[in-house]
Amino acid sequence: MSLERIVLELKARTEILETMYAYCRHADNLDPEGMVALFTEDCIANFVPGGEETILKGKGALRKMLSDALGVTVSGSHHISNAELIFDGPERATLHCYMYSWQRFTGFPVTADCHRWGRYENRFLLTPTGWRMDRLKLISAGEYGGARIGEQLGRPFPPQFP
């Protein structure tokens, strides 16, 4: 690999991770518009397991789901680590990273806080406005305050996107 290619990949790596950090910051600020701005127009996102009905297609569907979810959230804290990036050319990359999130909801204490440990499987594209997510999948390894568990078992690596 040429020195120029190495520098471009390191720059892209930094920009992609900063995009994910901004995503977490916007989530913690209960800012769905800030989160949606980090996606491509025709993005596909899946935050919960299930069939076709749980897949969000496009910024409009993503905006509605995030607005609804954050509308009943009082506070949250989102963290990512163990980031692995796989480049598929100079303008496309797959991110696999671990995540932890805590959320308190408006119904507390009747509605329990949710602590979630898991992974993100995201694909990023380089756009005129920077690196943006065109695919996001949240995989839950386990939760307190929720029922999701073990979704990471048997997942392909690197992550596959349709």
The verdict on residue 154 lying in a domain is: no
Return d(Cα 17, Cα 96) in angstroms, integer. 11
In a domain, 157, yes or no: no
In a domain, 59, yes or no: yes
Structural domain includes residue 152: no
Asked if residue 149 is part of any domain, the answer here is no
Helix (H) or strand (E) holding 7: helix 3-28
The pLDDT tens digits for 106-123 are 999 999 999 999 999 999
Q: What is the pLDDT of residues 6-24, one digit of tens each?
A: 999 999 999 999 999 999 9
Give 3-state DSSP helix, strand, coil % of the chain, rounded to 5: 30, 40, 30
- 161, part of any domain: no
Using 50, 70 and 90 to split pLDDT, how confident is the model at 53? Answer: confident
Q: Does residue 158 lie within any of the structural domains? A: no
Tell me how far apart the alpha carbons of residues 67 and 85 are, in angstroms, rounded to a whole number.
29
Q: What is the CATH number of the domain that holds 122?
A: 3.10.450.50
Q: In the prediction, which pLDDT does 52 show?
A: 84
Q: How many domains does the chain have?
A: 1
Question: What's the rounded Cα separation, in Å, for the pair 135 and 132?
Answer: 9
Q: Model's pTM, two decimal places?
A: 0.95
